[in-house]
Every structure is written in C-alpha cells, then in structure tokens.
Structure 1
C-alpha cells in the first residue's frame, strides 16, 4: 500500500525553538508508523509576503507547494504571538492559494493536525482555534483533537516530545487521528493512479 505523505509546518524562526522541536518529533513519530514526512521549519518558510499576482515562484516556494499538493495530511505547529499564529506560518499558508486550480484545490480533503505552543493557556487556546479555522478555510479536515502546549505543560523531553504525560498522550491521540485519515487518502490516491481495468 502507498505510504501516507505528511507535511509538517513549524512557524518559528528560532532554530532550536520548542515549536520546531515538537514539529520534528511529530515527524519522527509519524515516520516510525509508516508515513513519509516532509518538514518545513522556520527558515524553510521564510518567503516574501504572498502576492496573488502570478509572479514566478522560487525553487523553495515551488518545493513547498509541490509537497502540499502531493500530501495526504498536514500538521501545523505554531507559537502563539500575541494570541494568534505567527506571521511566518500565516504567510506560508497564504501561498496555498497557488493550489486553487489543482486537482485537489487548496488543502481539499487533507487531514490537518493542529498544535499551538505558548506561555499562557489563553494564547495557546486562541492560537489553536485560529489554526483550526484556517484549516477549515483551506478545505481541510482538522482532527477532532488539537493540542495546546502552554506554560509548564509546554516543556519537552530530550527527544523533543512533550515531557508532561497528559500532553504526551494527547499528542499521540492526535497523531493517530492524522495517520488514520491520511491512510484513507493514500489508498484513494493509489486507486486513482491505477490503470483502468487493473486489479489490486
């Protein structure tokens, strides 16, 4: 069976930030369960402000859009900046407008896992809500469970995963939901790519 393809986006420019570390940890967890993962952290998403004027896209921008176009699922990880998602991540997601005329426009049909990282519960909650709202607007399907890492519960272990056992369990559940729905998408891709008349 075709392995599900997941794209993970982290909205922090700080190389060793908790946001980047948790995104890489999520990618490792998903890869260990059979998924193919592409991770875009910080500088990977440092694009010019999005302008829908048909400008020629750079190699980095094209690689980003190609990964999303081919994906079965997306995991969004954002720090809370003044109660909402980082400008870096929001701008990168604005580029998804370039997929408007794709076979699966925008993020249509993709499962979307959402994770917020903040100092306070309030910032984590509002950022998580915004991530889910953006996911819906891009025609994706946010998982039933989103995860907010706030305050002491945002601490990470040596592997980059949540140190708090409750948050760790929440992350495992959310990733399981992403993988389960992404596998369905991967099977659909496999069937659609199969020549007419071919059997499994």
Structure 2
C-alpha cells in the first residue's frame, strides 16, 4: 500500500515530525511504500485560490496525495488547533485527494494530549471526504521524548503506535478493495 505522511510542523526539531517519521518507519517495516512530506523541509507558499499557476512543491504534494492509498496527518497542537502550515497544505487539497481514503490523525501537544487538534483534523478530513481512522495517536508531556534512533522512549507509546497502525492498515486495505 502507498501511504503519504504529511508532517505539519515548521520546527526544525519537532516531536510531531519525530512521531511522523517513527510511524513511517513502522509502516515501511510492514512492507508499505511510505512518502513523508516534512513541512519544515518542504514548505509551501500561502494558499491563494486566485493563483493561476501552482508551484512545483504544491504540484508534487498534490500528486503524492492523489496517488496514495492512505494518508497520515501529523501536527503539533498550537492554541488548541492544528498548525498553520498543515492547514495551509490541506487548503491546496480537496476531495479528489482524500475521497474514500483512510486518514490517520497524529498530534503532539505540550500538555497531556492534543485532542483539540485531532478533532479539528478529523473535521477537515470529513469535509474533504476522507475516512477518519477511528483510532488516533496523541502524545504529550513526557511521551514526546525520542531516542537517538528516532524511537519513542516509552514502551507504552510504541505499543500504542503499533496497535493504532494495525487498525489503520487493516481499514485502509478494506477501503482499497
């Protein structure tokens, strides 16, 4: 299965991007083709619905998401919502990119959990006709620590990620068939 992950942080060192990379590594180990779009390394211009020409970066992201079988959206939680750079990227995409595809939402928050950002992401996914995974990944506080290999320090976080990814992949496969 081809899975695109959009890491929606603009930070150089971001726990939501670290989680996105870890999720990508776990999915790749299971035999899936994974492409990570890191908003810090691959920024997009501000969305302009009146623009006549798409930039190369926007066209590439659009093509990646359109060709994917499933999507992972990862965000830090800023002021109770998704990051601006992720929302900006999602504004370039629509139902042609998401319709009928399983979408997993991932959040990293400075507090205990990032539930508000996950709820906002799920509302966006519904509005572009994607299918929200009934599970999500939210890390906060001490759960946001990763070792030098990119793995979460806490075994409970690793176990949760594996459990969520099993559900995500299973449901994404059912939607594909």
| Aligned: 1:108 with 2:103 | no
* Equivalent in the alignment of 1:170: 160
Q: Deviations over 1:62-113 (max 9, x none)?
A: 110001101111111100111110000000001003xx5xxxx240011111
* Equivalent in the alignment of 1:119: 110
What runs of 5+ residues in structure 1 fail to find an aligned partner?
189-200
What runs of 5+ residues in structure 2 fail to find an aligned partner?
none
- 2:175 and 2:48 map into 1 onto residues whose CA distance is 30
Q: CA contact under 8 A between 2:110 and 2:140: conserved in structure 1? A: yes
Q: CA contact under 8 A between 1:5 and 1:36: conserved in structure 2? A: yes
Larger Rg: 1
Quote how far apart the aligned CAs of 1:56 are: 0.9
Quote how far apart the aligned CAs of 1:45 are: 4.6
Question: Over the residues paired in the alignment, what is the CA RMSD in angstroms?
Answer: 1.7
* Equivalent in the alignment of 1:193: none
What does 1:86-165 align with in structure 2 at a 5 Å threshold? Answer: 86-97=83-94, 100=95, 105-121=96-112, 124-165=114-155
Quote how far apart the aligned CAs of 1:46 are: 1.8
**Counterpart among 5, 26, 29 of residue 8 in structure 1:** 5
Q: CA contact under 8 A between 1:110 and 1:182: conserved in structure 2? A: yes
Quote how far apart the aligned CAs of 1:54 are: 5.1
* TM, length-normalised to structure 1: 0.81
Quote how far apart the aligned CAs of 1:16 are: 2.5
Q: CA contact under 8 A between 1:23 and 1:77: conserved in structure 2? A: yes
Count matched residues. 177
Quote how far apart the aligned CAs of 1:176 are: 1.4
Q: CA contact under 8 A between 2:111 and 2:140: conserved in structure 1? A: yes
Quote how far apart the aligned CAs of 1:183 are: 2.9
